[in-house]
Structure 1
Amino acid sequence: MDFMKPETVLNLANIRDALVRMEDTIIFDLIERSQFFQSPSVYKPDVFPIPDFQGSFLEWSLLQLEKAHSQVRRYEAPDETPFFPDQLLKSFLPPLNYPPVLASYSNEINANDEIMRMYIHEIVPLISAGEGEQPENLGSTCTADIEALQALSRRIHFGKFVAEAKFRAETERFTKLILNKDVEGIEDAITNSAVEEKILLRLLEKGQAYGTDPTMKYSQNPQSKVKPEVLVRIYKDLVIPLTKKVETDYLLRRLEDEQ
């Protein structure tokens, strides 16, 4: 997949390969986060006296990272979606003129607020090593959170590329659905239950392989860092539905560019 060559980006086989690689990143990031306690103070606003900032430690840390990365063009890339799009800084590097792949409004499709809520309230309790605080690990916890959030965001927003590829492959079908504002019909059209089952099965197998101490692999009591069933649940109940929402929101506006 080469973002300078749109035909490679909208190739469904290439998209599928990219999504498979993202699974690995997400699994390892969740495993890294699983060594720490829930540490709710990381997510509560105004717990720490951060100068000139109102919000949580996680939000402040993520904002600083996005500001730095925006200066080296990270968020000019079509597959990157910032959590704080209105607070990015101008890059000092020369701009990259990516050829258009997605619709002109694609940057407006941003599910990061929902991803943040989902991560804090549903994923963190599932994967943390324990409840309560770990004052000595607040920075490490926050760093692991940011890596997991960015990986989840990239994977979920890749739904825009999936949606564009599907629209171009079945333009007439999707045009009718969009004109009729048929949300249920669009959701049915983008759903492939067989593919979803393969994803979940693959996640189960990867979780068993990546999340287990290899020295105890054949023990009667293997020590799994994140239970494979939890990884499957996160994808089935959270990641896949939110990806579909991104796809649907993108497709509902797809005729704007045609007009």
Structure 2
Amino acid sequence: MDFLKPETVLDLKNIRDELVRMEDTIIFKFIERSHFPTCPAVYKERDPGLRIPDFDGSFLDWALIKAEMTQSQIRRFESPDETPFFPDKILKPILPSINYPRVLATYSPEVNFNGEIKDVYINQITHLISKYDGECWENLGSVATIDIELLQSLSRRIHFGKFVAEAKFQADRPLYSKMIRERDIEGIYENITNSAVEEKILERLCVKAEVYGVDPTDKAGQRKITPAYLVKIYRELVIPLTKKVEVDYLLRRLESE
């Protein structure tokens, strides 16, 4: 997939191939996160043990804002597949801008589910993938660092639903235009859902978790991430959030016609 070549971006096969590659990234980052406990202090606003001058949010938010400010200066958020968690904090790039051809609708940056993604990650996913529930004060910086990488990877995967939605709209404009005009949200959900593809994703995740989740040199076979938890995260959180992105994007699609 080449964002400078629009014809490659809206090819559903290319999109699916990209989503498969993202699975590997997310799984390995889950494994990295599994070495640490939940560390709730990282996510608490104004935690007494983590006083940040002139900042009222959580340690994770502070670190994420600083990371995104730096990344915005090297053009990260000019790429159409990147969605910032703090869009009001990003800075002008130092590098020359890249004039990507327009593939998505003009309002696409406004379709931003990162607040919900962060909430789901903190309150549900960390409890499934962490080593145990509890603090580990000497590792708070490491935890925040891998959390940022995971959040951005999950965000990219989930917001890729915009490309799926645009590809499906282009493939059947009359059908989707009718549903959008009628605000037929149930019909849109039904038409964007491909149960066979979703089951293949979950089956593939089970295999990857079996292969990646255990160190082959560890005779005890201690598992870092279980297939059941990985499937649960995708089935109950990642896939539904991706569909919400698709529906939210499609409901406004006629604005760009």
Output the TM-score relative to the length of structure 2.
0.98
Q: CA deviation at 1:228?
A: 1.2
Q: Residue 32 of structure 1: SS of its match in structure 2?
A: helix
User: For residue 243 of structure 1, what is the aligned residue in structure 2?
Assistant: 242
Q: Which amino acid aligns with 1:95?
A: S
User: For residue 66 of structure 1, what is the aligned residue in structure 2?
Assistant: 68
| Distance (whole Å) between structure 1 residues aligned to residue 183 and residue 96 of structure 2 | 41
Aligned length: 255
User: For residue 42 of structure 1, what is the aligned residue in structure 2?
Assistant: 42
Q: Which amino acid aligns with 1:49?
A: R
Q: Which amino acid aligns with 2:63?
A: S
User: For residue 161 of structure 1, what is the aligned residue in structure 2?
Assistant: 163
Aligned: 1:98 with 2:100 = yes
User: For residue 184 of structure 2, what is the aligned residue in structure 1?
Assistant: 182
User: For residue 83 of structure 1, what is the aligned residue in structure 2?
Assistant: 85
Q: Residue 71 of structure 2: SS of its match in structure 1?
A: helix
Q: Deviations over 1:139-193 (max 9, x none)?
A: 1111111111010000000000000000000111101110100000000000000
Output the TM-score relative to the length of structure 1.
0.97
Q: Residue 217 of structure 2: SS of its match in structure 1?
A: helix
Q: CA deviation at 1:43?
A: 0.2
Identity level (%): 64
RMSD: 0.8
| Distance (whole Å) between structure 2 residues aligned to residue 52 and residue 82 of structure 1 | 22
Q: CA deviation at 1:92?
A: 1.4
Pairs within 5 Å for 1:28-39: 28-39=28-39
User: For residue 137 of structure 2, what is the aligned residue in structure 1?
Assistant: 135
Q: Deviations over 1:8-64 (max 9, x none)?
A: 000111000000000000000111001100110000001121112110000000100
Structure 1 unmatched runs, 5+:
none
Aligned: 1:170 with 2:172 = yes
Runs of 4+ with >4 A deviation = none
Pairs within 5 Å for 1:225-236: 225-236=224-235
